[in-house]
């Protein structure tokens, strides 16, 4: 297959099928913010609002406005998201709620930093779209706080217990590295020492001898032989790979670029279901049954991450291996997740590739992974061509 033929396919999928779904069904023009629980056809099945997803959608519409076309309706949607977040979702102590009622009354707060991370991402990109400098300042101040919290989660209320094995999670340095990319924009050197620290911590999870990227390791990178230490999340490791690759390119570090390529390839090779196709959600590094009940399901977002990660690798290596991996995921994703009838993608398939959940939006699926991947791939395809 010729990659150049795909540019139009990605453009149509993004602008004709995915973005219109969210424009039409998710926007709450009364209270601001976005509804997230949208059935196959966009019908609302729960009025709760999830702040991870409200932040991510605000980011996405700001990004489209900034990088594709300055459509006033995109800026207005971003504004509705940013205003809801800033006026409702952030508490006096700077914690951001996980979920809220449609009017913006609090429902749940997590003992994690991710609501804050997506809040920061939203405000940084929205500031560029709207020209509202106070949003960027707020994003930078929050990033400083989250940086502090991230190395001591007791600051967001997470208890610790005597028997725990000291451990660090890949999710933390990885999301901070991506956040810095988003907040810094063109001024990438502003956060140089923080970037170095994120990269140092991410590399502790990469074990070349096992060709494995572990989600949880000891603070010096050691393997933890437990349910949690052996748990692999191939889609997450693939995402970490392209986050790292962006910095490897900026820093012009070939060693890091090589590692980022390996992270994607190893995780894909292990995560791809050779019998049924698609990328497993979880695996156990020693081959035990992973304990999450959904381990063998095929979720939309690991496939979104893999699409862009493989194509990014191909744009660097020119290696047919990466191109073929991209095409393999492309075939699977477009034939299984895409919904030509109502737009957006289905999110959840069983191991055999059958849709198990008909909704397009839910507590953890919003306007983010699909349009971000389509936009990144579309841009990269144009570049390669």
Question: Where does this chain bind its own copies (CB under 8 A)?
Answer: 37, 39, 45-48, 97, 100-101, 103, 105-109, 159, 161-164, 226-227, 288-291, 293-297, 348, 350-351, 356-359, 362-363
Q: In terms of CB distance, is 292 or 318 closer to its own copies? A: 292
Instruction: Kindly state the tokens that stand for 164.
Output: 């725990």
Identity of the residue, 39 or 76, whose beta carbon is nearer to its own copies in the bound complex: 39
CB of 355 to its own copies, least distance (A): 9
Between 95 and 323, name the residue whose CB sits nearer to its own copies.
95
Q: How far is the CB of 59 from its own copies (least distance, A)?
A: 23
Give the C-alpha separation, 312 to 297, whole Å.
25
In terms of CB distance, is 159 or 340 closer to its own copies?
Answer: 159
Smallest gap from residue 241 Cβ to its own copies (A): 24
The least CB distance from residue 112 to its own copies, in Å, is 14
- To its own copies, the closest distance from the beta carbon of 1 in angstroms equals 32
Q: Smallest gap, in angstroms, from Cβ of residue 289 to its own copies?
A: 4
Which residues is 349 bridged to in the sheet?
298, 355
In the complex, what is the shortest distance from the CB of residue 158 to its own copies, in angstroms, rounded to a whole number?
11
| Cβ 114 to its own copies shortest distance, Å | 18
C-beta closer to its own copies: residue 108 or 335: 108
In terms of CB distance, is 228 or 254 closer to its own copies?
Answer: 228
* C-beta closer to its own copies: residue 80 or 100: 100
Q: Which one, 173 or 229, has the nearer CB to its own copies?
A: 229
Q: Residue 51 has which token pair? A: 């702040």
Q: Three-class SS string for the chain?
A: CCHHHHHHHHHHHHHHHHHHHHHHHCECCCCCCECCEECCCCCEEECCEEHHHHHHHHHHHHHHHHHCCCCHHHHHHHHHHHHHHHHHHECCCCCECCEECCCCCEEECCCCCHHHHHHHHHHHHHHHHHCCHHHHHHHHHHHHHHHHHHCCHHHHCCCCCCCCCCCEECHHHHHHHHHHHHHHCCCHHHHHHHHHHHHHHHHCCEEHHHCEECCEECCCCCCCCCHHHHEECHHHHHHHHHHHHHHHHHHCCHHHHHHHHHHHHHHHHHHECCCCCCECCCEECCCCCCCCCCCCCEEHHHHHHHHHHHHHHHHHHCCHHHHHHHHHHHHHHHHHCECCCCCCECCEECCCCCEEECCCEECCECCCHHHHHHHHHHHHHHHHC
Least Å from the CB of residue 385 to its own copies: 38
Q: Which is nearer to its own copies, 1 or 227 (CB)?
A: 227
């Amino acid at each position: 297959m010729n990659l150049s033929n795909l540019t139009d396919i990605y453009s149509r999928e993004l602008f004709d099928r995915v973005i219109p779904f969210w424009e039409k069904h998710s926007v709450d023009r009364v209270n601001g913010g976005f509804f997230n629980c949208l059935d196959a056809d966009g019908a609302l099945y729960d009025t709760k609002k999830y702040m991870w997803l409200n932040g991510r959608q605000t980011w996405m519409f700001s990004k489209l406005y900034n990088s594709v076309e300055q459509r006033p309706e995109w800026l207005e949607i971003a504004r509705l998201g940013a205003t809801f977040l800033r006026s409702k979702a952030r508490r006096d102590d700077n914690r951001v709620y996980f979920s809220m009622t449609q009017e913006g009354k609090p429902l749940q707060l997590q003992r994690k930093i991710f609501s804050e991370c997506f809040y920061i991402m939203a405000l940084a990109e929205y500031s560029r779209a709207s020209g509202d400098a106070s949003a960027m300042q707020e994003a930078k101040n929050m990033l400083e706080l989250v940086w502090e919290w991230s190395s001591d989660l007791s600051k967001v209320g997470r208890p610790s217990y005597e028997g725990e094995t000291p451990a660090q999670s890949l999710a933390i340095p990885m999301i901070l590295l991506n956040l810095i990319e988003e907040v810094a924009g063109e001024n990438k050197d502003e956060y140089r020492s923080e970037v170095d620290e994120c990269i140092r911590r991410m590399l502790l999870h990469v074990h070349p001898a096992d060709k494995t990227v572990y989600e949880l390791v000891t603070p010096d990178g050691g393997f933890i032989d437990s349910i949690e230490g052996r748990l692999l999340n191939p889609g997450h490791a693939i995402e970490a790979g392209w986050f790292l690759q962006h910095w490897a390119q900026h820093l012009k570090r070939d060693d890091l670029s090589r590692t980022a390529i390996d992270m994607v390839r190893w995780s894909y090779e292990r995560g791809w279901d050779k019998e049924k196709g698609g990328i497993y959600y979880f695996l156990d590094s020693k081959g035990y049954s992973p304990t999450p009940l959904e381990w063998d399901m095929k979720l939309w977002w690991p496939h979104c991450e893999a699409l862009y990660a493989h194509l990014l690798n191909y744009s660097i290596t020119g290696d047919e291996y990466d191109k073929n991996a991209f095409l393999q995921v492309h075939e699977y994703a477009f034939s299984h997740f895409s919904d030509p009838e109502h737009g957006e993608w289905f999110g959840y398939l069983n191991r055999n590739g059958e849709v198990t959940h008909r909704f397009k939006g839910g507590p953890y699926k919003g306007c983010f992974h699909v349009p971000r991947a389509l936009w990144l791939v579309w841009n990269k395809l144009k570049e390669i061509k």
